[in-house]
Amino acid sequence: MQKADHLSLLVTAGDGPAECNQAVGHILDRMQDEAEMFGLSLSVHRAEGKHGPRSAVAVVHGPGRQAFATSWVGTIQWRMQSQLRQHHKRANWFVGVFTLAQHPGRAADIRPADVTFSTLRAGGPGGQHQNTTDSAVRAVHKSSGLRVVVREARSQHRNKALALERLQSLADAQQSADQEMRKNDQNKLHHALERGNPVRRFVGERFKEDVRDR
């Protein structure tokens, strides 16, 4: 069962080609924009490849997290002529977004001594009510490279505490994702994505949403 204060998502290209990795990158950027629009906090860890992330885990905090997740979970379609292979006939690329269940056990504890903190001027969720002091915190876990930015509290001390909690949530989500990926054959997963009925469709280089069927 997932913790009550967050939801964890896996975004994956399965065994799809490099264009699907590009699609994963576009989806993560769009997720970040939508999370900020709705006042949510989204922490992401990407498994980067040559042409974009093959997969990523995303942990969303905030009271609207369930509606946010529901709007993304399923197959995402991107209609775009390949920018990597000239004259390639295929122009439909598929990515899957799945809710990650919390598996028994958790990742190793994230200790403050293993985290590098830096402060920055807040400027994210909250619109005109956002904090404008230098109390926002960027936290990077040294060994794993996991990183989060926390900006909603006015106290730097509180933001550091939240950052540690969110790094732990991200580490736990990554462990759950690794377990899920080991259980599922990547090739079968990709074919399932292609056959699935997309919950959202995007088109073109600007990744514009096609809302005709929504």
How many whole angstroms from its chain centre is CA 46? 8
Task: Categorize the per-residue pLDDT at 23 as very low, low, confident or very high, splitting at 50, 70 and 90.
Answer: very high
How many whole angstroms from its chain centre is CA 2? 16
Quote the mean pLDDT of the chain: 86
Task: Categorize the per-residue pLDDT at 189 as very low, low, confident or very high, splitting at 50, 70 and 90.
Answer: low
User: Between residues 145 and 131, which one has the greater pLDDT?
Assistant: 145
pLDDT of residue 128: 46
| pLDDT digits 0-9 by tens, 69-102 | 999 999 999 999 999 998 888 999 999 999 997 6
Helix (H, G, I), strand (E, B) or coil at 144: coil
Question: For domain 6-210, which architecture applies?
Answer: 2-Layer Sandwich (3.30)
Produce one character per residue of 160-185: b if its CB has 16 or more CB atoms within 10 Å, e if not.
bebbbbbbbbbbbbbbbbbebbeeee
Backbone region of residue 179 per phi and psi (left: phi > 0; alpha: psi in -120 to 50; beta: other values): alpha
pTM for the model: 0.85
In the chain, the percentage of residues whose pLDDT exceeds 90 is: 64
Domain boundaries, the chain: 6-210
| pLDDT digits 0-9 by tens, 102-122 | 665 667 889 999 999 999 876
Angstrom distance (rounded) from CA 206 to CA 161: 37
Angstrom distance (rounded) from CA 64 to CA 15: 31
Among 37-41, 100-104, 172-176, 198-202, where is mean pLDDT lowest? 100-104
Q: Is the pLDDT of residue 132 over 60?
A: no
Helix (H, G, I), strand (E, B) or coil at 45: strand
Task: Categorize the per-residue pLDDT at 46 as very low, low, confident or very high, splitting at 50, 70 and 90.
Answer: very high
Angstrom distance (rounded) from CA 60 to CA 54: 20
Q: What is the mean pLDDT of residues 133-161?
A: 91
pLDDT of residue 195: 64
- Structure-token pair, residue 213: 């069927």
In the chain, the percentage of residues whose pLDDT exceeds 70 is: 83
Q: Are 154 and 142 in contact (CB under 8 A)?
A: no
Half-sphere exposure of 214 (CA within 13 A, CB side): 11
